[in-house]
Structure 1
Amino acid sequence: MNSVIYITGVSGSGKSTIGKLLSENLKIPFFDGDDFHPQSNIDKMKSGLPLNDKDRQGWLLKLNDVAKAQLQKSSCVIVCSALKQAYREILKKDIEYHVKWVHLTGGFNLIFKRLNEREHHFMSSDLLQSQFDTLEPPKDAIQVDVSLKPSEIVKNIVEQMEEKSEFGLFGLGVMGKSLSRNLAQKGFRISIFNREVKGKEEHVAIDFKNKHKELENAHAFSNIEKFVNSLQTPRKIMLMVNAGKITDMVIEDLLPYLSAGDVLIDGGNSNYIKTKERYDYLKSKGIHFFGVGVSGGEEGALKGPSIMPGGDKNTYNLVKPYLESIAAKDVNNLPCCTYIGEEGSGHFVKMVHNGIEYVEMQLLAEVFTILKTMGNNPDEIADILESWKPKAQSYLLSITIDILRKKDRNEWLIHKIVDKAGNKGTGNWTTIATAQLGVPGTLIASALFARYTSFYKDERIQASKHFEITSLPVNLEIKDVLNAYQFARIINHFQGIRLVSEAGKAYNWQLNLSEIARIWTNGCIIKSDLMAELIPVLKEDDNILKHQVIINQVKLLKPSINKVVAKCMLSELAIPCLSDAVNFLNNYANSRSSANIIQAQRDYFGAHTYQRTDDATGKFYHTNW
């Protein structure tokens, strides 16, 4: 992958000298930013006046154009003071994945002396202090002390760029392997690490590297110290290990070899509360920590997942090029990765993603049950679901169709799979979060408990003998089943997104719900046409049930779900999420609920007080019942 190497630093730091030597060493073209200043800028500096941001705007854009044009042919070196982060943002516009930064550092007195010794330059040494005052040193650059000899500086730069890796991947499980290949395919030089256990896990990293051509330039390690030292500073290390105690153990193993400013990225399914604790703990040690949700499974991790990073906003630029480069792309070719918010917000959003996923899976299971009871075999059900794609397309719908068509020895494989659904904890965490935050995430809880119920297989067999519940054939139109499914999906998305919104308020995370919906439109398990429709809706309000388009859809679909739930209940068919969806709306959209009875009961036995409908002041009352 071609690169633009920007060499930055105040005037007099030796950028041009180093840039020319580096370009000769690497055998790539060299461009001096000073050569592209308009005459007005040159005249201004000659008169002893410093440039302002407006003066620099056009100059920086011109250099960005030069970089873009050169990248079509080869790599190049461009020297430019680029004193502010805002200037560097312009320089890397649209090419950030191709940019490498080198920053020349030195004391004021040394550089002032050099400026006075420099002849025939429009930059006066009198302006040097203004440059030091303006300087915002880049965090993501190779830092080199200009007191060294030019040849030593260039050698230092080359060693860091060519021998050291840009990014480290710790842990080569299924997801770690796929992500490392994805990074390598994007042209990043990476280091990979996996532990070794004699007689069990030996030579994992090196064997994996040798197996894939795209990893030929990767560095493979089983020694932690060598792995960490193989990385450019500030180091960027992504942990792909099991969530929980193992993550903490790995962090402790890495800490002795890390330096202030390094970045650890937890790409596992960690609990957001633990992520916040790790964020605070590592911050006290000068280490940046990101909790990053990654959705898409093995294939998504390789071809482009949806990525949800949470951590320090200012530090995000250090990891942004890597995460956004490997992410899936939406319909506008934008990465399905965006900065989520502080602390554990990334893992929280991923957790809710999984909660929504639980419900979407359960709803399809219930639809399968209904259509089967209506007399359809798996192939016929697959054909019905295929016909739903124009109105209800989603990743989960598509894979369910594939599952239903799969045969094993001329029999449908689905009939041979034991009806016990497992889980890895995220649905449990989401349900707990709904309770802790006081958000009615009823469908997520129903989907979770449906899985829990399924796991009691032996007890269910006994109960079926005791209660002799036999589902009767359901007489329904396919159109009504589709409408009921769509209705429940809207309620599911409302509850999940509302949970994210309330968490943002509770934890002071500045969450962009529309952006979250956007990065869920590709690369992840819950990608769907419905999610894409919610992007503009969420720009207006975090409550999708207040949007007129959604209101109209729900009103149109509701008669069908009423009919479906009623007939399934009478036929003794278990449909926990479909029934919960309509029950939720009946409760949510009721201006006078039965909660007055509950509040009266609370006041009766616990003197918890109540408010009165005939007192608009909001005063609380207690009755001696």
Structure 2
Amino acid sequence: MILFVMGVCGSGKSTIGQSLAKELKYPFFDGDDFHPQANIDKMSKGQPLNDDDRQGWLQALNQKAKEVKEGVFACSALKESYRQILFEGIPWGQLVYLNGSFELIDTRMKARKDHFMPPGLLTSQFQTLEEPEYGLNISIDQEPEKIVEEIMENLSPGNQEFGLIGLGVMGKSLARNLAGKGFKLALYNRFVKNSEEQVAEKFIEEFDELNDCKGFEDLGAFVNSLSTPRKIFLMVNAGKVTDLVIEELKPLLDKGDIIIDGGNSHFADTQRRMEDLKANGLHFIGTGVSGGEEGALKGPSIMPGGDKEAYQKIAPYLEAIAARDAQGNGCCTYIGKGGSGHFVKMIHNGIEYAEMQLLAEVYALLRYVNGLSPEQISDELQSWETNGLSSYLLEITHKLLLKKEGEAYLVDLILDKAGNKGTGSWTTISMAELGIPATMISSALFARYISSFKQKRERYQKQFDLSTTKQSQVSTNDLRNAYQLARLVNHQQGFELINEASKQYQWELNLPELARIWTNGCIIRSELMEELIGRLKSGTDFLLTLEKEELAIKLEALKAITIAGIQTGVSLPTHLSAMDYLNTQLFDYPTANIIQAQRDFFGAHTYKRVDDPEGPSHHTVWE
């Protein structure tokens, strides 16, 4: 623990700090000793220090605190900006504010001798003072012994620096990841008689890296074990459960404490919770976490959004456990204000839906048109990884195709009814609300919906027993080119959706940085995502980065495989969606003019004219 004891000059920082250091058996550091001579000379002349004067002083204190890791520092960090410098990179720090009236401290200052700071500067100190909304607020209108006793009683007893609530699969993996980086955790899981008992305690006993962790079933004890400002990561079910946990936490927390929601919450819920907790002086960070169980343990991609100052207090934790990009930097960054963190995680999942469906369609063509076995398809997909198509989803797909149960391939034993957890539908709704045609995401979502009607599909197939046009084998070269082009369209649509949300919600999102943190740890990490970091610096029109000849070759390949799907009856919703999107973008065969004429005919909705597209709207009496 690093303990910063602050207050105006004359509040007793050094006296109290020295006593606390003795109690805690920590070294004591007087902030005055870190002032450069120029600052001392200035104050000796009765001149107050400005922010520039204090910058180097605060940084020196911060550096010393990082070096010693345990100690008590007395310094007059009067502004919040000063305290931000002190706490930079020291999440284990705690703050004690010695609070006293001007009259009391003025009397003390006048009685003090041989100090370089004259009593006349006290007025400027009170004018500068910004009282902290976190840490311990201790009145100095009592004896020093009582002050020290009060501080010792209120210091977090276990001094656990980071809390995590919810020890499901993801929660446990994140806890092990955090503990493995050296952080002292408090872990809480609910108590359910004969079902969930001593979950945290038993989990801690199971893994050596959790030795410094403490487990709880009592929420109050869990909260009291944490250093301030408290940092609590929620890994519970999104929706009502998250709201219930927050309501339980609110009366137990103090101003300045931070709640981090790591679930798949809807971004509008995140914004609502943020405003509600802000009224209580609490911070809320909506954080997308991608990578599944393995990613959570070994390094996920992390997308935190909310108050930037609050993020800086939790950044050392999140950035430490994140996956690393090609340059070794953490795949975690401050996304933006409001619910932006959960929004971009939602779009990540939408892009993921389409990426998964594209691979399922590739499998379908190779299996049902080309007649390849799962093992042969696996070999084909594995060869694509060396042709610029490397991705996590491609990798796991060619691996899962090899899995057998007895003599049967496991994929042939899995019922073709796909599940979904809501983020795909939320993305589709946001697409409609923002007016961005992310058509491949919605096509992938509807493919999952259709798959759930298994019995209905079987009835149709049995009743009609239709034969389809025989198709010669599709070219694997065409299939690879088509898949590559469709993926580019999918990513373009996803990033256009994020870009529009950034504009409409005034989030000021950094799209190249977002692509960077998606290059590792997350489900949609890929070689293409690495390339998009540079492309996004010029905008989201990825198609414009293609040469005409390259586009023409890939477009013909996409046409060929979609025709094959239509002729054979193999459903290819995302490839067809990409094809249709490209047709609307690349060829000028208008249809919206008919729609506008229809709307004007039955509803007098008016239309614009091609000879004056920016001019007035027109209405025609059609009969």
Residues 275 and 344, structure 1, Cα contact 8 Å, conserved in 2: yes
Deviation at 1:460, TM superposition (A): 2.1
C-alpha distance in 1 between matches for 2:239 and 2:221? 25
Q: Given the two structures, how large is their TM-score scaled by the length of structure 2?
A: 0.90
User: Structure 1 CA distance, aligned partners of 2:335 and 2:549?
Assistant: 31
Output the amino acid matched with 1:334. Answer: N
2:192 aligned partner:
197
Paired residue type of 1:300: G
Partner SS for 1:405? coil
1:609 has 2:606 as partner: yes
The offset of 1:288, in angstroms, is: 3.1
Alignment-mate amino acid for residue 577 of structure 1? T
Number of the residue aligned with 2:50: 52
The equivalent residue for 2:33 is 35
| Letter of the 2:580 counterpart | N
Q: Please say if residues 489 and 543 of structure 2, whose CA atoms lie closer than 8 Å, have aligned partners that are also in contact.
A: no
Give the letter aligned to residue 102 of structure 2. Answer: F
Which residue of structure 2 lines up, in the alignment, with residue 122 of structure 1? 116
The equivalent position to 2:568 in structure 1, one of 546, 558, 571, is 571
Q: 1:474 & 1:66 partners in 2: Cα distance?
A: 73
State the secondary structure of the residue aligned to 1:508: coil
Aligned-partner residue type, residue 359 of structure 2: L
Aligned mate of 2:335, from 335, 340, 348: 340
Paired residue type of 2:230? R
Quickly say closer, same or farther: Cα 1:209–1:551, change in 2 above 3 A. Answer: farther
Q: Equivalent residue for 1:327?
A: 322
**1:97–1:325 contact (8 Å) kept in structure 2:** no
2:261 is aligned to: 266
Deviation per CA, 1:122-165: give whole Å up to 9, x if none.
22222222223223444554444444554555555555245243
> Out of 370, 380, 384, which is 1:388 matched to?
384
- The CA deviation at 1:323 is 2.9
CA distance in 1 between partners of 2:6 and 2:548 (Å)? 55
1:495 maps to which residue? 493
Q: 2:121 corresponds to which letter in structure 1?
A: L
Quickly say closer, same or farther: Cα 1:298–1:53, change in 2 above 3 A: same
Could you say what secondary structure the match of 2:457 adopts?
helix
The within-5 A match list for 1:454-603 is: 454-465=451-462, 466-470=464-468, 472=470, 474-541=472-539, 543-545=540-542, 548=545, 554=551, 557-590=554-587, 593-603=590-600
Q: Distance in 2 between matches of 1:540 and 1:294?
A: 27
C-alpha separation in 1, matches of 2:504 and 2:383: 42
Whether the 8 Å contact between 2:94 and 2:227 is mirrored in structure 1 is no
CA distance in 1 between counterparts of 2:22 and 2:382 reads 60
Q: Distance in 1 between matches of 2:87 and 2:157?
A: 21
1:361 counterpart (356, 377, 386): 356
CA distance in 1, matches of 2:581, 2:406: 43
What letter corresponds to residue 523 of structure 1 in structure 2? G
What is the CA-CA distance between 1:604 and the residue it aligns to? Answer: 1.0
State the AA in 1 paired with 2:500. Answer: E
CA distance in 1, matches of 2:254, 2:451: 49
Q: What is the CA–CA distance in structure 2 between the aligned matches of 1:532 and 1:157, rounded to whole Å?
A: 51
Distance 2:553 2:19 in 1: 70
Measure the CA separation in 2 of the matches of 1:419 and 1:326: 36
* Alignment partner, residue 242 of structure 1: 237
Superposed displacement of residue 347, structure 1: 1.8
1:43, CA displacement in angstroms? 1.2
Do the aligned partners of residues 393 and 18 (structure 1) sit closer, same or farther apart at CA in structure 2, a change above 3 Å counting?
farther
How far, CA to CA, are the matches of 1:211 and 1:401 in structure 2? 34
Distance 2:569 2:189 in 1: 52
Distance 1:147 1:393 in 2: 67
Q: 2:271 aligns with which of 259, 269, 276?
A: 276
Secondary structure of residue in 2 paired with 1:397: helix
Which of the numbers 174, 199, 202 marks the counterpart of 1:179?
174
2:385 corresponds to which letter in structure 1?
K
User: In the TM superposition, what is the alpha-carbon distance from 1:357 to its structure 2 partner?
Assistant: 0.7
**Structure 1 stretch displaced more, 56-65 or 305-314:** 56-65
Question: In the aligned structure 2, how far is the partner of 1:427 from the partner of 1:330?
Answer: 26
Secondary structure in 2 matching 1:514: helix
Work out the CA distance in 2 between the residues paired with 1:585 and 1:230: 57
Where does residue 424 of structure 1 map in the other structure? 421
Aligned to 2:9: 11
Question: Do the aligned partners of residues 489 and 196 (structure 1) sit closer, same or farther apart at CA in structure 2, a change above 3 Å counting?
Answer: same
Do structure 1's residue 109 and structure 2's residue 99 form an aligned pair?
no
- Deviation sequence 1:226-256 (CA, Å, 0-9, x none): 3333334443333222222222333333334
Query: 1:60–1:239: structure 2 CA closer, same or farther, 3 Å change rule?
Result: closer
Matched, 1:379 2:361: no
Partners of 2:547 and 2:527 in 1: CA distance:
14
SS in 1 for 2:382: helix
Q: Which residue, out of 450, 453, 460, partners 2:450? A: 453
Unpaired runs of 5+ in structure 2?
none
Alignment of structure 1 residues 249-328 onto 2, 5 Å: 249-328=244-323
> C-alpha offsets along residues 309-331 of structure 1, whole Å, 9 cap, x if unaligned?
23333433343333333332323
Match of 1:207 in 2: 202
> Alpha-carbon deviation of 1:176?
2.0
User: Is the 1:340–1:511 Cα contact (8 Å) retained in structure 2?
Assistant: yes
1:310 counterpart SS class: strand
Contact 1:537–1:547 at 8 Å: present in 2 too? no
Residue identity (%)? 53
CA gap 1:83/1:556 in 2 versus in 1, 3 angstroms: farther
**For the residues of structure 1 that align with 2:328 and 2:139, how far apart are their CA atoms?**
40
DSSP-derived class of the 1:619 partner: coil
Does the residue aligned with 1:188 lie in a helix, a strand or coil?
Answer: coil
Cα offset for 1:515?
2.4
Give the conservation status (yes or no) of the 8 Å contact 1:242–1:268: yes
Instruction: Name the CA distance, whole Å, in 2 between partners of 1:348 and 1:139.
Output: 29
Q: CA deviation at 1:365?
A: 1.0
Secondary structure at the aligned position of 1:292 is classed as strand
